[in-house]
Copies of this chain bind each other. A is one copy, B any other.
Amino acid sequence: MQPVSPSGYDPREFPPFAVTVDIVVFTILHDALHVLLIERGQDPFEGCMALPGGFVRPDESLDEAAARELEEETGLTKKEAYLEQLRTYGAPYRDPRMRVITSAYWAVCSSLVIPEAGGDAAFALLAPMSEIESGSISLAFDHRDILQDALERLRGKLEYTSVGARFCPPEFTISSLRRAYEAIWETRLDPGNFHRNVQRSPSFKKVRRKPAVVGRKGGRPASLWTAPKVEPLTSAPLARRHKSPMRPARGSD
C-alpha cells in the first residue's frame, strides 16, 4: 500500500485517539475571579473537581464542540459568552483509561446560574481562582495546568484587548469594568485614569445616560457603555498590568 501522507504513514495504521474539549469558564463573583468546576462522580479522579467538557463529535469542529459543551453545561450561547481556544494538551497518560487529547478553551461570561445538584448527579460550583492557585482544591487530570495557563492568557489579553468587557453585562459602567480588572490582576487601578482610557478607546461606546441599578448607596450615577466586540485595543491599554502584585491607589482602601 502506498503511503498517503508526506511523512509516509497511513492514518489507518494509527491507533485511535479520543478528542475532547475542556472549557475554563471565567466569571466575576463578589469582586473575585471564579471558574466553573464539576465534581467527578466516576472512576478516574472520583471526587475530584474537573473542568466541564466532553467529546468532540465526528461532524463538528473543535470550536463547535466547545460552543456546544459550553451551552450544555451552562446554558450560555456564543452571544452571551466569549470563547477562545487556549491550547491542546496531549500527554500520553493524562487520562489513565486511554489516549485522550483535549483542546482546552476559555470562556468569559458576566453571570452564570449554576444548576443545583440533584441526587448523585455531578454537581457544579464556582470556585474562586485564588483557592485553585493555593492548591486547596483537588483537580482531575491535568486540569490544574490548564487553569494556570488560562489564567495567564486571560491576564495578558486583558491588557491588549477589550475582552474584559465580557465580564460585564452588555451595558456596563466603567467602574464595574475597572473592578473586573482589579479582581483579575489583584491590583488597584486609578479610577480617573482608567475612565479616561475607556473613553478614548474606539472599542468602547457610550450609550444613553440612564439611572443605574437599584442597590446604589449614593454618588453620581454612572453612564453606561458597551463594547460591541472583543478586539485588540488600538491606542492605549485601559490599564497596565504590573509585575509587583499590588499597587496602592489614592484615597481610601
Contacts and interface: CB of A to CB of B under 8 A. Distances in A.
Interface residues of A, number: 53
A54 B42 CA distance: 34
A72 B7 contact: yes
A interface SS class: loop
A114 interface: no
A20 B234 CA distance: 36
Contacts of A69: 7
Nearest to A90: B62
Contacts of A61: 90-92
Copies in the complex: 2
Interface in A1-52: 2-7, 9, 11-12, 14-20, 38, 40-43, 50, 52
Interface of A: 2-7, 9, 11-12, 14-20, 38, 40-43, 50, 52-63, 69, 72-73, 85, 87-92, 97-101, 103, 122, 234, 243
A10 to B, nearest CB: 9
